[in-house]
Amino acid sequence: MSNLSRRKLIKGGIAAAAGVTGLGIAAHLAQKYGLVPPDHGGIWGLGETLTYASQRLLTRHSLAREFPKSKISKPPLANEMAPPSEAFKRLQAGGFADWRLTVDGMVAKPASFSLAQLKSYPSRSQITILACEEGWSYIAEWIGVPLSHVLDAAGILPQARYVVYYSIARGWWDSIDMADALHPQTFLAYGMNGDELPVGNGGPLRMRVPRQLGYKSVKFITHLTVADNLKKFGKGLGSVEPEGGYAWYAGI
């Protein structure tokens, strides 16, 4: 073996070892700082992890762009769906007076809130874009209570890392990390454009995550579970979306 090729071999070996060690350290740090999305397995894991990690590092506290009232889309768009269930129709007939939001999981005081209770909390509004992954979008004023306020009322435990949320529509659930859950613009929305939130837009209660695509803003919310990891939920991919082939993180 010539000197040159031996030197090449040693250098290559050191580079490879450094690379593997570096990747190992990076993976460990990424896990520790919550930069790995729950759907990181499989062939799309590389792209998903890079997107989620870089957007978490860059956008943890940034605010979604807000617009003046004049920019509200007219007429408002409702990507409507059929009433999700008989139970929903009965609640709708009663003017949603019996609608409940239950909060459980890693909270000090599991609780159940009526719409009236949620509306008694300080209400906030934001005029933001709802953009669908398909390509269309609209601007609306969303009125509601910040999710963080409800979580504070229930008292989240220190080990909490995700909030899982369920629609009354069977099998429709999703989750967000604490960066989004505690974000000041993440709402449980019950109003839109100065009025009640229409059923077509997810009324009476819709999760509103304005820094992510529309499919994270799940309609007809009845249940929140605070969790330290997402392995026990569904197939462990974080939401029903990755089970249907869509990314859990929808910041892009």
Partner 1 sequence: MARLGSVPVTLGARVPSSASAVPATKVTSRHSALVRITHWIITLCFLALLVSGMEIVISHPRFYWGETGNVMTTPLFQIPIPSSRALVRTGYAYVLPDQNGWSRYLHFQAAWIAVLTGLLYLIYGVFSGHFRRNLFPAGADLSWRALRSDIANHLRFKRPSPSEAWSYSVLQRLTYLIVIFVLFPLVIWTGLAMSLAFVSAFPATVTLLGGEQSARTLHFFVSIALVLFVLVHVVMVCAAGFKSRMRAMITGRAATQKERP
Task: From residue 103, give the alpha-carbon distance in Å to each of 54, 57, 149, 183, 211.
Answer: 31, 29, 12, 18, 23
The helix or strand, by DSSP H or E, that contains position 112, with its residue range, turns out to be strand 111-114
Could you tell me which of 53, 188, 209, 207 has the C-alpha nearest to residue 128? Answer: 209
The CB-of-171 to partner 1 minimum distance in angstroms stands at: 16
Q: Which helix (H) or strand (E) holds 185?
A: none
Residues 74-93 that bind partner 1 (CB under 8 A): 75, 77, 79
Six-digit token pair at 143? 């009125």
- Asked if 41 interacts with partner 1 (CB under 8 A), we say no
CB of 22 to partner 1, least distance (A): 15
Stretch that binds partner 1, among 64-72, 143-151, 160-168, 229-237 (CB under 8 A): 64-72
193-204 residues labelled b (16+ CB within 10 A) or e (exposed)? beebbebebbbb
Among 83, 198, 200, 251, binds partner 1 (CB under 8 A): 251
Q: In terms of CB distance, is 21 or 159 closer to partner 1?
A: 21
Q: Which residues contact 232 (CB under 8 A, 6 or more apart)?
A: none
* Interaction residues for partner 1, span 125-184 (CB under 8 A): 129, 131-139
Q: Which residues bind partner 1 (CB under 8 A)?
A: 8, 11, 15, 43-44, 46-48, 50-51, 55, 58-59, 62-65, 67, 71, 73, 75, 77, 79, 129, 131-139, 210-213, 244-247, 251-252
